[in-house]
Amino acid sequence: MTLLLTEEEVDGLLDMASTLPVVEDVFRAHGEGRATNHARRRVALPTGGLHVMFAGAPGMDAMGLKAYSVSSSGARFYTMLFHPESGELLAILRSDRLGQLRTGASTGVAAKYLARDGASTLGLYGAGWQAESQLEAVAAVKSLSRVIVYSRKEESRKEFARKLGQRIGLEVETTDQPEEPAAQDIVVTATSSKDPVLKGEWLSPGAHVTAAGSNSLLKSEVDREVIRRASFVCVDSKEELGLEAGDLLASLETGGLLPEAVFELGSVVCGHVEGRRSQEDITLFASQGLALQDMAAARLVYDRARERGVGREVDF
């Protein structure tokens, strides 16, 4: 029997506190070679597009895929979860909230392993849906003393500050000066901008940067100076280079960054690669997202749904 779960049901079963450890675990499994992940594949049509990503790992007892469509009416996200031994289709989930949480959790994992000791301030670019989970995740792994957010619209950043300040129990400052967030210990970009919102010249020594808003070769949230100044650059998966990592494309094409100098975050999590070597290093995580993260979160949702009797069963 296959379990069907709505967006509202998934939202009620998943939160950042539970998403962070399962995402960290799959980064570790990926770094140790105990998981299979394939980068997003796309179908583009004049009226819309279809995006599919798939993965599996014995350790999380799941394999599956996420597919989502994008059109003028918005995006629709679905995850299909299979049992790795029987091949049974365990569940079909609506997964917009799931994707938001696992994207934020990836940023949290990166901050945990790459931010310098004692990092306590966060600068955030973007005040939308995805920016919410970015802040939640960093606040969950670091003891933050200051958060400052910049976005193009004053109204949106002030509403974001009010809402997220209540959620994390810390005042969230706003600014109309784009260089201010870059002066913090941890800097996160979560925008829809096609052009850089973060300039490398603004960064302070020792900063950790996560660029989380671009998963296209046509978009870059950080300029080449960010990459030039970074002592360590990593991605979710090196398979993404040339497919999705728009933040790195210009530097890769001009030789400012060599493919051999780009690492995978999972290798840092499992201890195979040393990320930060000094308190003065600038580190960069260009986040594109792994299907493994979706599968880990989906498996957690499925197990909780079974325990709590949530969802509807369908016999295909």
pLDDT tens per residue across span 261-272: 999 999 999 999
Query: What angle (nearest 5°) sits at the alpha carbon of residue 67, between those of residues 64 and 71?
Result: 175
- Whichever domain contains 16, its CATH number is 3.30.1780.10
Quick one: pLDDT band at residue 26, thresholds 50, 70, 90? very high
Q: Using CA atoms, how far apart are residues 309 and 242, in angstroms rounded to an integer? A: 43
Do 259 and 297 lie in one domain? The reply is: no
Do 12 and 91 lie in one domain? The reply is: yes
Question: CA 123 → CA 144, 183, 188, 242, distances in Å?
Answer: 11, 7, 6, 28
Position 216 scores a pLDDT of 63
Do 272 and 206 lie in one domain? The reply is: yes
Position 252 scores a pLDDT of 81
Tokens of 187: 């800097």
Q: What digits encode the pLDDT tens for the residues 74-124?
A: 899 999 999 999 999 999 999 999 999 999 999 999 999 999 999 999 999
Do 220 and 134 lie in one domain? The reply is: yes
Position 192 scores a pLDDT of 83
DSSP H or E segment with residue 234: strand 232-235
Q: What is the arithmetic mean of pLDDT over 4-30?
A: 97
Q: Using CA atoms, how far apart are residues 274 and 128, in angstroms rounded to an integer? A: 33
Do 175 and 54 lie in one domain? The reply is: no
Of 178 and 218, the structure prediction assigns the larger pLDDT to 178
Mean pLDDT over each residue of the chain, to the nearest integer: 94
- Whichever domain contains 131, its CATH number is 3.40.50.720
Do 224 and 307 lie in one domain? The reply is: no
Do 267 and 166 lie in one domain? The reply is: yes
Do 120 and 50 lie in one domain? The reply is: no
Q: Under a CB-based contact definition with an 8 Å cutoff, are residues 284 and 227 in contact?
A: yes
Q: Which residues pair with 198 in a beta bridge?
A: 222
Do 95 and 122 lie in one domain? The reply is: no
Do 191 and 60 lie in one domain? The reply is: no
In the chain, how many domains are there?
A: 2
Please state, for a pLDDT cut of 90, what percent of the chain lies above it. Answer: 84
Q: Using CA atoms, how far apart are residues 307 and 98, in angstroms rounded to an integer? A: 18
Position 268 scores a pLDDT of 98
Do 204 and 281 lie in one domain? The reply is: yes
Does the pLDDT value for residue 135 go beyond 90?
A: yes
Does the pLDDT value for residue 217 go beyond 70?
A: no
DSSP, collapsed to helix, strand or coil, labels residue 225 as helix
Do 53 and 140 lie in one domain? The reply is: no
Domain that holds residue 258: 106-289
Q: Which residues pair with 235 in a beta bridge?
A: 264, 286
Q: How many CB atoms lie within 10 A of CB 261?
A: 15
- pTM of the predicted model as reported, rounded to 2 decimal places: 0.95
